[in-house]
């Protein structure tokens, strides 16, 4: 169980870094505000999906066709 929690924490960190990087890059580039908003929304949705899949796998629910790689 401890190993599963450590893997979950690692996936949360990965999702957070991906979300931060997408937002940072979108803010650094001279883009239209609508495009920046779309990038932020897409990055947030991807991060939330990663976190939900990791949580579902932690409690033992298997999402058909989706499997996060095991870390470690």
SS3 36: helix
Task: Note whether residue 71 is domain-resident.
Answer: no
Q: Which domain holds residue 35?
A: 2-58
Residue with tokens 């779309």: 38
Integer Cα distance of 27 and 39 in angstroms: 10
Task: Note whether residue 26 is domain-resident.
Answer: yes
Task: Note whether residue 66 is domain-resident.
Answer: no
Task: Note whether residue 40 is domain-resident.
Answer: yes
DSSP per-residue letters across 8-55 = HHHHHHHHHHHHHHHHHHHHHS---HHHHHHHHHHHHHHHHHHHHHHH
Name every residue whose Cβ is closer than 8 Å to that of residue 43 and which is 6 or more positions away in sequence.
18, 19, 22, 23, 26
Task: Note whether residue 22 is domain-resident.
Answer: yes
* Structural domain total, the chain: 1
What pTM value is reported for the model? 0.74
What tens digit of pLDDT does each residue of 1-58 get? 787 788 888 888 988 998 999 999 988 999 999 999 999 999 999 889 888 888 887 7
Task: Note whether residue 64 is domain-resident.
Answer: no
Task: Note whether residue 10 is domain-resident.
Answer: yes
């Amino acid at each position: 169980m401890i190993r599963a929690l450590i893997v979950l924490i690692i996936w949360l960190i990965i999702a957070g870094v991906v979300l931060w990087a997408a937002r940072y890059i979108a803010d650094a580039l001279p883009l239209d505000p609508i495009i920046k908003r779309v990038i932020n929304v897409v990055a947030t949705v991807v991060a939330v999906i990663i976190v939900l899949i990791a949580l579902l796998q932690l409690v033992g629910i298997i999402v058909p066709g989706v499997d996060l790689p095991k870390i470690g």
